[in-house]
Chains A and B, each alone.
Chain A
Amino acid sequence: MKKIVLIKIMVVLGTFSSNAQIQKVDQEVFGMDCAPCAYGLERGVKKMDGLQNVRVSLNDGKAYLELSKNNSLSLRRIQEEVKKNGFSAKQAEVVIEGKLINKNSGYELETGTETYSIVTGASDDLNSKLKAGTVKLKGIVQDEEDGNLSGHWKIKLTEIL
């Protein structure tokens, strides 16, 4: 009986971790002014496991990341790589799939490694359509101090996918 319970728990956790993840990140980067800067950032980001496609634009000041299925990358890890290259990571547009839970009269999206608090305000129409459970969302993750990244983010929804 214990074995069955254990197997069920593992199956549930396995299902959660394979679905709960960041799928796409358009990371705004400040301070990147030259081709070797972009090259260095692209090279550094590509060293991380779980990426399908990486493109860095100097003119947009952005790193465009498409993540592979079942990746375990966190936004914190991505922003730390930006800092390691000498730049400042600002807000990011992300597509995330995760477990939405109702907490303190608001919602939080959990990916297993990070938590995204849904910001109320301008996107309230969208927020009212949210239901607890597994969801896929698109939104803007607000900028946090580069030296103080905790893995707890605030996200303003732009689309429920």
Chain B
Amino acid sequence: MTIPNPIFKIIFISIINVFAISTINAQGHGPLYGVPTPTLAKGGVNLNVAGMSLGTEDKTSYMLRYLFSYGITEDLQVNLTTPTMIEQLDNAPRTRGNSNMPANGDIEASLWYRFFSNAFGVGKRFESTAILGVSAPTDGVRGQVNVGNSIHGAISTGYASRTWYAWLGGGYQYYFERDQEQLGDLPYASAVVGYRPDIFKGDYPKPDWRVFVESLAEFPGDNRYLGQQDFTDSRSKKVLVGPSFLGLYGAWGISVGALFPVVQDLTPSAVKENYRVAINLSYWL
């Protein structure tokens, strides 16, 4: 398995983009792939620019995504994410991209509600967040199936401290039928553990780094085609694990990570994956 040069193109374009839009601001100090919990401050504005790549046995996809976020209150946040597809797969695996963005050509608006928060010590807190999103596709056909609008819901609970982090979450994405065809749904779960070594515990405003081990379990349903006689409603089962790194400095944040499949129990129409790579740049205003 090789990671081709275009990934570096994505990284480069991401950096250019985030600097170009740096008058706004971003959030993203949670996991890269897992469902996160942190929400913005009241009135906080935030921008994330992400580059994503997914490699199958035949082809690799590349995409840029932009996520605009605004904190209505310290517990309620509204988001809008839009894609720039660079290279698409003919039959892309059904998955979420980063923790807070779709992996395909959908434009998604979402609301995050942190319904539980308990700050119980210096740098320590438990919190739980519910996410509800709606999306509309920018592409008409995906994997030879008409693409409809979709809804996405997720819930996550997490622990943060100056040393350890952990998140557990799960979600579900449902695509509506369009012209008698329908993309398969996606139930999924995520688990993330993070650690910040002593060497990276320099006090603010020094840089702040941490490392995560992220895991995703996905159960994508098969697509339904027009005139299909033998639709069996079968599901693939995937488990992916990988590292990610998060660096924070002042108002800036950068996450880099990869996931590799450790379990792929696929239906005949599903595509085998080799890896997923992502980079996310954040700026807080």
Is B249 in the interface zone, CB < 8 Å from A? yes
Residues of A39-54 at the interface with B, using a CB-CB cut-off of 8 Å, are 39-40, 42, 44
Say whether A34 contacts B124, CB under 8 Å: no
In angstroms, Cα B120 to Cα A43, docked, is 23
How far, in whole Å, are A60 and B206 apart by their CA atoms in the complex?
A: 14
Question: By the criterion of a CB under 8 Å from any partner CB, how many residues of chain B are at the interface?
Answer: 38
Please measure, in the bound complex, the distance between the C-alpha atom of A35 and the C-alpha atom of B249, giving whole angstroms.
Answer: 6
Given the known interface contacts A36-B27, A84-B41, the answer about A57 and B124 at a Cβ–Cβ threshold of 8 Å is no
Q: Is the CB of A86 within 8 A of B204?
A: no
Chain B's nearest CB lies how many Å from the CB of A59?
5
CA distance A84 to B73 in the complex (A): 7
**CB of B48 to closest CB in A, whole Å:** 12
B123, CB-defined interface residue at 8 Å: yes
Q: Does B42 contact A (CB under 8 A)?
A: yes
Instruction: Write the chain A residue with the least CB distance to B159.
Output: A33
Our pick among B29, B74, B122 for the contact of A61 (Cβ within 8 Å) is B122
Given contacts A38-B204, A58-B203, contact A33 B253 (CB under 8 A): no
Which size class do A's interface residues fall under? 20 to 34
Q: Which residues of B contact A56 (CB under 8 A)?
A: 204
CA distance A57 to B123 in the complex (A): 10
CB distance B123 to A58 under 8 Å?
A: yes
Of A38, A44, A86, the residue contacting B205 (CB under 8 A) is: A38
Give Cα A83 to B251, complex, Å. 19
Given the interface contacts A36-B253, A36-B284, A86-B75, does A31 sit within 8 Å of B119 by beta carbon?
yes
Is B162's CB under 8 angstroms from A33's CB?
yes
Chain B residues, CB < 8 A from A61: 121-123
Known A-B contacts A39-B250, A57-B203; A34 and B125 likewise in contact (beta carbons under 8 Å)? no
Cβ B119 vs Cβ A39 within 8 A: no
**B206: chain A residues within 8 A (beta carbon):** 35
A88 within 8 A of B: yes
Question: Which are the 6 A-B pairs with shortest beta-carbon distances?
Answer: A31-B119, A61-B122, A31-B125, A88-B119, A38-B204, A30-B119
Residues of B within 8 A of A (CB): 27, 29, 38-44, 74-75, 114, 117, 119-125, 160-162, 201, 203-208, 248-253, 282, 284
